Amino acid sequence: MAPVLESKLPKVGTTIFSRMSALAQETGALNLSQGFPDFAPPAALSEALGEHARRGHNQYAPMAGLPRLREAIADQLHRFRGVKVDPDTEVTVVPGATEGIFCAITAAVRPRDEVILLDPVYDSYAPAIELAGAVAVHVPLEAGTFTVDWDRVRAAITPRTRMLMLNSPHNPCGSTVGRNDLDELASIAEDHDLLICSDEVYEHLVYDGLRHESVLAHPQLRPRSFVHYSFGKTYSVTGWKTGYCIAPPALTAELRKVHQYVAFVAVTPVQHALADFMAEEPDYPLTLAANYQARRDCFLNAIEGSGFAWTKASGSFFQLLDYSALSDEEDYILCERWTREFGVAAIPISLFYADPPAQKILRFCFAKAHDTLLEAGRRLCTI
């Protein structure tokens, strides 16, 4: 008789992203659900990957990442964020920001510790907390604006609170935090000696003249923070699954202890290709905000006159649409039906909450070709 394995994650199944992408493929729908671009990355970057694979750069890189890539990361952080980091002791290249976040939580959080999550929350955070034997404490963002109510955060803190997870620009909401938010967070973190795990993978995708406010650039937050970034989001290569974590030396040392036994290294030829491209095109990230803002506006213009309501996303490549004028159905049911009937796949945001509020909102990814966005808009206008 085969042994019965008791699940450590009994509430977790296949992610909604995988399910909706599979449904889009099955039905031939336009996939505005899963967050990935449907257009090519920079040609020079793709060519560099092939070149390094052909050159034989196919064996293990150093555990922390190629030195020249870590140096390029440090240079870019100084260029765009005005902060100086040590590439040897504060930069770790990881196979995707999700792995880096998992390693940070595993390294820093102990059984029975509490970690504050701001709902709606990206779906990988809570499982990592549970696997560490800790407790996820969910604090909802403000309905409608998706801003942080710092008084509610303070009220949620107990003697067991160890960490707070921050995500800006936000997935799934497309909202961003400001400098005042970071000041509030710093005050709370210092008062209660909290660690911060900051997911900033959409750092260059901020719109309408706003700027990204990074935890790294806040002098009170930086010494207590793990900050995570994604090459996949910046260079339109989500399938390359490569990112990096910035943390002070003591936190980096602990993260690397876990990282070396989870994945050990990120992919070697990918690291070489990224280092080449960053050296050759150091200003490439500066092109992203205008590019993606144009895609956002293309999508919103295409659904002008529809039954949806919205507030423009201020960051990320996700736009929320309120469908309350169109249907009373639950969002996860509606997503599947509309994918089949109208040929546009989206994501229900209720699944990002521990206790979903009474709202009718779907998330659409606008990291798509303009023709795709226009056609999606045309179909949505027929609802």
Question: What pLDDT does residue 229 have?
Answer: 98
Residue 358 has pLDDT above 90, yes or no: no
Question: What pLDDT does residue 1 have?
Answer: 78
* For range 278-287, the mean pLDDT: 97
Out of 235, 263, 284, a domain closes at 284
* For range 216-228, the mean pLDDT: 98
Confidence (pTM): 0.96
Question: What pLDDT does residue 11 have?
Answer: 85
Residue type, 49: L
Residue 65 has pLDDT above 90, yes or no: yes
Whose CA is closest to 319, among 175, 217, 186? 175
Q: How many CB atoms lie within 10 A of CB 340?
A: 13
The number of helix segments (H) and strand segments (E) in the chain equals: 13, 12
Cβ neighbours of residue 273 under 8 Å, at least 6 residues apart?
45, 46, 48, 49, 51, 52
| pLDDT classification of 343: cutoffs 50, 70, 90 | very high
Domain shared by 268 and 308, yes or no: no
Question: What pLDDT does residue 3 have?
Answer: 84
Residue 222 contacts residue 83 (beta carbons within 8 Å) = yes
Whole-number Cα distances in Å, 188 to 68, 229, 237, 332: 37, 24, 36, 35
Residue 329 has pLDDT above 90, yes or no: yes
| DSSP string for 108-146 | H--TT-EEEEEES--TTHHHHHHHTT-EEEEEEPPTTT-
Q: How many CB atoms lie within 10 A of CB 78?
A: 12
Question: What pLDDT does residue 17 have?
Answer: 84
Question: What pLDDT does residue 5 have?
Answer: 86
Q: Is 90 helix (H, G, I), strand (E, B) or coil?
A: coil
Q: What is the CATH number of the domain that holds 130?
A: 3.40.640.10
Domain shared by 203 and 66, yes or no: yes
Question: What pLDDT does residue 16 have?
Answer: 83
Domain shared by 34 and 150, yes or no: no
Residue 226 contacts residue 247 (beta carbons within 8 Å) = yes
| DSSP string for 51-84 | HHHHHT--SPPPTT--HHHHHHHHHHHHHHH---
For the stretch 119-142, pLDDT in tens is 999 999 999 999 999 999 999 999
Residue 78 has pLDDT above 90, yes or no: yes
For the stretch 12-48, pLDDT in tens is 877 888 888 899 899 999 999 988 999 999 999 999 9
Instruction: Please give the sequence-ordered ranges of beta strands (E in DSSP) within the chain, or none if there are none.
Output: 30-31, 91-94, 114-119, 135-140, 161-167, 195-199, 225-230, 243-246, 318-322, 344-345, 347-348, 361-365
Q: Is 41 helix (H, G, I), strand (E, B) or coil?
A: coil
Residue 240 contacts residue 232 (beta carbons within 8 Å) = yes
Question: What pLDDT does residue 383 have?
Answer: 94
Percent with pLDDT over 70 in the chain:
100
Domain shared by 184 and 72, yes or no: yes
Judge whether 10 lies within some domain: no
Residues spanned by the domain of 228: 43-284
Domain shared by 107 and 25, yes or no: no
For the stretch 224-263, pLDDT in tens is 999 999 999 999 999 999 999 999 999 999 999 999 999 9
Judge whether 5 lies within some domain: no
| pLDDT classification of 2: cutoffs 50, 70, 90 | confident
* For range 145-158, the mean pLDDT: 97
Residue 272 has pLDDT above 90, yes or no: yes
Question: How would you class 172 by CB atoms within 10 Å of its CB: exposed for 0-12, middle for 13-18, buried for 19 or more?
Answer: buried
Residue 258 contacts residue 107 (beta carbons within 8 Å) = yes
* For range 156-160, the mean pLDDT: 98
Mean pLDDT score of the chain, rounded to an integer?
96
Out of 255, 284, 313, a domain closes at 284
- Retrieve residue 179's tokens: 């400098």
Question: What pLDDT does residue 12 have?
Answer: 83
Structural domain count of the chain: 2
* For range 7-16, the mean pLDDT: 85
Q: Is 366 helix (H, G, I), strand (E, B) or coil?
A: coil
Whose CA is closest to 244, among 52, 51, 76, 53? 76
Domain shared by 129 and 172, yes or no: yes
